[in-house]
Structure 1
Amino acid sequence: MASGVTGSRGGEGRRGFLAELKDAVNARTALLVIAVLGLQLGFIVSYIGALHHPYPYKASIGVVAPPTVSAQLVAGLNGLPKQVLDAEPVADEATAVGRMKDQKLYTALVVNPAGTQDTLLVANASGPALATAVTQIVTGVEARQGRTIVVKDVVPLAAGDAEGLSSFYLAVGWCVGGYLVASLLGISAGTRPANLRRAIIRLGALLLFSLAAGLGGALIAGPILNALPGRIIALWGVGTMVVFGVGAVTMALECFFDVIGIGIAVLLFVILGNPSAGGVFPPPLMPPFWRAIGPWLPNGAGTDLNRSIAYFHGTDVLRPLLVLSVWIVVGVALTLVASVLRRGSGRADLPKAERAVELPTAARAVDPA
C-alpha cells in the first residue's frame, strides 16, 4: 500500500517537473536561446575572422620617381606577391601629399635620384597599422635594391588619439545608443506601434535622443578628452545621423519581427558592423568579406566621417553621408509602413501592463450584471 502511494507520488513529481520545465522553457524560449547561441558564435567568428591576421591587399601607394625608373618601379610594386600594393605614378611630392590628404592614396614613395635614401610618405591618421605594414614591405623592396628609406608622416594623429581608434569608438558608441534606445522603446511600449501617429511620436523621440547623443559624443571626444580635433558641430551632425539611422532601422526590425528584430539589429550593427568598420584595421588590412561590407554599414560610414572631419578637413565624405542617409530613410519608411500594416491589431501591440488594464474593462462590457 505504502509502495503504491510512493510510486504515485513519484509519478506526480516527475510529471510536475516536466510541466514546470515546459512552463519555464517553452518552445519559443528554446528557439530564442538557440538564436542567442548563434549570435554569440557569430560574434566570435566575425571579430576573430576580421582581425586575427591583418595582411595588406592593394594598399594604394603613389610613386614619385624620374621617368626612367618610374614605370619599372610601379610595375615591380604591383607585381609583389598577394597584390599587397596598388602603385601608381605621381608627378611630384606635393601632388602625392595632396592626394594623401584627399584620401586618394594611403602612402607615397618619393625616390631620390641623387642618392640611395628614398622617402616614404605615410598618413598615420588613416591607420597606423597600415602605415607600419606598408613601411615593412617597402623597406624590404628597397633593401633588395641596395637602398634605404626614411619615413615621413604627413597626416599625424592627434596627441590624444595615440592609436587612431577614437574615430572608431565614437562611431561604435553612437551605434550602441541607437539600437539600445530603440530596443528599450520596443520593450517598454510594445515592439509595434498601434498606429501611424504613435510611430511618428516614437520616431520623434528617437530624433531628440539622437541629437542629445550626437552632441554628447562630440563633446566627449573633442573638448572634454581632447581625443579628436575637428569642428564639434560637424561631429554632432554625424553622431545624430548614426544614432537615428541605427535606431530607426532597429525600430523597423522590431515592427516586423518583434523581439527577434533586436537580434537582427545586433547581427547588423555589432557582429558585422564593428569589426568591418575600419577602425582597428583599415580596409586594405581586412579579409575580403569584411572589407566589402564595412563602408556600407553605419559603423563604417560613421568611422570614415569622424576620421575625415578630424584629420582630413572633411574630404571624401559624400559616400558615407549617402550611406547614413539611406539607412535613415529605409528605417523611417519601414517603421511607418509597418505601423500602417499593423494598425488593425493595435491592442496586441500594447505593452503587457497596458493590456492587463484593458482586460477588466472589456469583461465589464460583456457582464450581464
Structure 2
Amino acid sequence: MTSPTAPPAEAETPVGTQRRAWISLVLTGLIIGTAFIAVYVGLQRDPAPSRLPIAVVGDELATTAHRGFGDAVAVTPVASVDAGKALVHDGDSVAVLSGTSPGTLTLDYAGASGFSESGAARQLVAGLGRQAHMTVQENDIVPLASYDSRGLSAFYVVFGVTLSSFVLAQGLTAAATLVRLRHRLWAMGGFAVVIGVVAATVAGPVYGSLTAPFPLLALSLILLSAASAFTTKALGAWLGPIGIALAVLTLTTIGNATSGATIGVDLLPGWAQAISAKLPPGAAVRAVNNFGYFNGSHTLAPLGVLAAWFLAGLGLVLLRQRTAQRRPLAAEAGR
C-alpha cells in the first residue's frame, strides 16, 4: 500500500511538456528584455529634430529660417509675435522666433513641450543666430510645473498606470478558471477608476507635478488604465501566453518608449512618430500635457484613442467568451 505522505509520482507530468513550458517562458523573457533595452536605448542614441514646428514672424525671417533650418524645422510664418505665441500656448508650435530689434533674435518657447523639443529649438535658433551674427534672447512662456523640473512626471505616471493595469489583467487572465468573467471585467473597470483617481491625486494636488485640472487628469488616467487592462485581457484570451507577451511589447515597452514623454515626438524616428499617438501611453501623455499646459487643445483625439482601445479590448473579450460557449453546443448538436 502506498503511504499517504508519499510524494506524487514524477511520471504524472511528461518531461517533454516540462521542458517546453520553461523553454517558452525563458525565450519570452529574453525577447521582452531584449526588445525593452533595444527600443529604449536605441531611441536615446542620437535623437534629431524632424519637422520641429516653429512659428516665425515675418516673411523675410521665415525665408531665412527655412533656408537655415532645412528639414529639421517646419516653419510656420505668422504676422505677429502675438499670433506666434497663440500657437505656442495651444501646443501647435514649440516656439515663436522674431526679430524684435536690429541684430537680435527673440525666441519665445514652451519649456512644457519637453526638454528635448524645447532644447532642440533653442539649439537650432542659437546656431542660426551665430550664422547671422545676431544675439538671441530667450523667454520660456509655457514653463514646466515647478515640481516637475525635468518634465518626466507624465512619463512616470503613465508608465505606472500602464504597468499596474497590465499586471492586474495578466493575473486575472491566469485566474480565469477561478474567477467568473463578469467579476474579472468589474475588477478591471473598478481598478481603472481607483488607480486613475489615486494617480491623479498623488501627481496633481499632493505633489503638484502635473498641472492638468484634477477631473480631466483623472479621466485621462482612468481611460489609460482601462485601455491597458482590457487590451491585455483580450490578447491573453485569444492568444494565451503569446498574447500577454505581445501586450508587454505593445503597451509597456514600445508604447511608453515612443510616448513623447522622454524624447519629444518630433525627435523620434519616422516609425516611432507614426505609432506614438496611436498607442495608449502616447495618447495619455498628450492628453495629460495638453490639459495641463496647452489650454486643453487637441485633447479629443487622444481621449478617443484611449476609449477605442478600451472598447476594442472589451469587445474582443466578450466575443471570445461567446465563441467559447458556442463550441460545446455545436459539438453536442453534431453527435
TM-score normalised by length of structure 1:
0.81
State the SS of the aligned residue for 2:54: strand
How do 1:85-164 residues align onto structure 2 when only pairs under 5 Å count?
85-112=73-100, 114-164=101-151
Q: How far has the Cα of 1:120 moved from its partner?
A: 0.6
Structure 2 CA distance for aligned equivalents of residues 241 and 181 of structure 1: 15
Contact 2:212 2:289 in 1 (8 A): no
| Superposed CA offset, 1:297-323 (max 9, x none) | 000001111111111221110210111
For residue 4 of structure 2, what is the aligned residue in structure 1?
none
How do 1:203-242 residues align onto structure 2 when only pairs under 5 Å count?
203-242=185-224
Structure 2 CA distance for aligned equivalents of residues 308 and 327 of structure 1: 20
State the SS of the aligned residue for 1:89: strand
State the SS of the aligned residue for 1:167: helix
Alignment-mate amino acid for residue 309 of structure 2: W
For residue 29 of structure 2, what is the aligned residue in structure 1?
36
For residue 6 of structure 2, what is the aligned residue in structure 1?
none
For residue 67 of structure 2, what is the aligned residue in structure 1?
76
State the SS of the aligned residue for 1:157: coil
Alignment-mate amino acid for residue 33 of structure 2: Q
State the SS of the aligned residue for 2:203: helix
For residue 250 of structure 1, what is the aligned residue in structure 2?
232
Q: Which runs of 5+ in 1 are unaligned?
A: 1-16, 347-369
Structure 1 CA distance for aligned equivalents of residues 175 and 13 of structure 2: 27
For residue 335 of structure 1, what is the aligned residue in structure 2?
317
Structure 1 CA distance for aligned equivalents of residues 82 and 31 of structure 2: 51
Contact 2:196 2:219 in 1 (8 A): yes
Alignment-mate amino acid for residue 221 of structure 1: A
For residue 166 of structure 2, what is the aligned residue in structure 1?
179
For residue 333 of structure 2, what is the aligned residue in structure 1?
none
Structure 1 CA distance for aligned equivalents of residues 177 and 30 of structure 2: 25
| Superposed CA offset, 1:99-128 (max 9, x none) | 11111111110112x421110111010112
RMSD: 2.2
Q: How far has the Cα of 1:21 moved from its partner?
A: 10
Identity of matched residues, %: 28
State the SS of the aligned residue for 1:296: coil
* Residue 320 (structure 1) aligned with residue 302 (structure 2): yes
- Distance of aligned partners of 1:73 and 1:338 in 2 relative to their CA distance in 1, 3 Å threshold: same
Contact 2:49 2:120 in 1 (8 A): yes
Structure 2 CA distance for aligned equivalents of residues 339 and 345 of structure 1: 10
Q: How far has the Cα of 1:31 moved from its partner?
A: 2.5
Alignment-mate amino acid for residue 73 of structure 1: T
Q: How far has the Cα of 1:293 moved from its partner?
A: 1.1
For residue 4 of structure 1, what is the aligned residue in structure 2?
none
Q: How far has the Cα of 1:20 moved from its partner?
A: 10
Contact 2:110 2:143 in 1 (8 A): yes
For residue 271 of structure 1, what is the aligned residue in structure 2?
253
State the SS of the aligned residue for 1:87: strand
Structure 2 CA distance for aligned equivalents of residues 56 and 250 of structure 1: 33
Q: How far has the Cα of 1:344 moved from its partner?
A: 5.4
Alignment-mate amino acid for residue 51 of structure 1: Q
Alignment-mate amino acid for residue 316 of structure 1: H
Answer with 1 or 2: which has the greater Rg: 1
Q: Which runs of 5+ in 2 are unaligned?
A: 1-9, 329-335
1:22 aligned to 1, 12, 15, which one? 15
Contact 1:178 1:246 in 2 (8 A): yes
For residue 7 of structure 2, what is the aligned residue in structure 1?
none
| Superposed CA offset, 1:102-159 (max 9, x none) | 11111110112x4211101110101122111221111111211111111111100111
Structure 2 CA distance for aligned equivalents of residues 321 and 23 of structure 1: 47
- Distance of aligned partners of 1:173 and 1:92 in 2 relative to their CA distance in 1, 3 Å threshold: same
1:308 aligned to 285, 290, 295, which one? 290
Contact 2:94 2:121 in 1 (8 A): no
TM-score normalised by length of structure 2:
0.89
Structure 1 CA distance for aligned equivalents of residues 305 and 326 of structure 2: 34
- Distance of aligned partners of 1:254 and 1:74 in 2 relative to their CA distance in 1, 3 Å threshold: same
Contact 1:199 1:335 in 2 (8 A): no
Contact 2:40 2:257 in 1 (8 A): yes
Alignment-mate amino acid for residue 64 of structure 1: V
Contact 1:51 1:275 in 2 (8 A): no
Q: How far has the Cα of 1:278 moved from its partner?
A: 0.4
